[in-house]
Amino acid sequence: MLGFALINGLAGLLIVTSQMVILSKDSKNSARFYALQSFVLVLIFLSLAKLQGSEELYLWSVSAFVTKVVLVPVIMFRAFGKLHDEKLGSGDVLPLALSVALSGAVVILCFVVVLGVTLPGSAEIKPALAVSLAHFFLGLACIVTQRNILKQVFGYCLMENGSHLTLALLAAKAPELVEVGIATDAIFAVAIMAVLGTKIFRTLHTLDARQLTTLKG
């Protein structure tokens, strides 16, 4: 069915944009790629809303556009654009080729796992469901494999987008209040982490998470 093919295709773009976010050398570019990814997520919500006749998902699309495409990237762009650690650089722990290979392995593994899922209405969206699951683990991998604390914030955002997509795929009729809760969580979490990142940089003059080894009362 064309509608499901579109949804699965857009979900595939999320993996591409997640790699752009993770591998970008500049935090401003990562914020731009995150905004692009969130816009793709909004398109998926709109496609699902039309396909399933879900008024709730139309409302999700509006709130996701305002929060994920506009507000969160603006917060990250303004806060992170002022922070740059010359000694740390991008903060990548893994080589580029190995990072891409790891991402590919995660996606394949999630596809294998999702093949065994037999939830009602999940057959046509299994590729998108696999991507949403993989997206969560890609965000987690970004947090674990990045020394740059700003990139770790982006990893959290990727995890949140993956969880958001999973919820939309499996609970299209969920109340708008659920979406408001998710959106509010993302905005406040990013704002708090942006303040903490700025404070760390101004105090310790580094963005290297491995240097944060001493607690002072």
Domain that holds residue 11: 2-209
Tell me how far apart the alpha carbons of residues 140 and 146 are, in angstroms, rounded to a whole number: 10
Q: Do the domain assignments include residue 95?
A: yes
Q: Is residue 42 part of a domain?
A: yes
Domain count for the chain, please give it: 1
Q: Please give the share of the chain, as a percent, with pLDDT higher than 90.
A: 8
Dump pLDDT digits (tens) for 83-122. 777 776 655 666 777 777 888 888 888 888 888 777 666 6
Q: Residue 82: which residues within 8 A CB-CB, separation 6 or more?
A: 198
Query: Is residue 71 in a domain?
Result: yes
- As a whole number, mean pLDDT of residues 206-210 equals 80
Assess if residue 214 is contained within a domain.
no
Confidence of residue 6 (pLDDT cuts 50, 70, 90): confident
Which of 78, 75, 60 is CA-nearest to residue 188? 75
Residues shown for the chain: 217
What span, in angstroms and rounded, lies between the C-alpha atoms of 56 and 130? 23
Tell me whether residue 50 is in a domain. Answer: yes
State pTM to two decimals: 0.86
pLDDT in tens, 11-70: 889 888 988 888 888 888 888 999 999 999 999 999 888 888 878 888 888 888 988 899
What tens digit of pLDDT does each residue of 133-165 get? 888 888 888 888 888 888 888 888 898 888 888
Residue 158 forms part of a structural domain: yes
Tally of CB atoms within 10 A around 167: 16
Q: Give the angle 7-11-16 at the CA atoms, nearest 5°.
A: 145
- Let me know if residue 60 belongs to a domain: yes
144, 94 in Cβ contact below 8 A?
no
Residue 211: pLDDT over 70? yes
Domain-embedded: residue 77 = yes
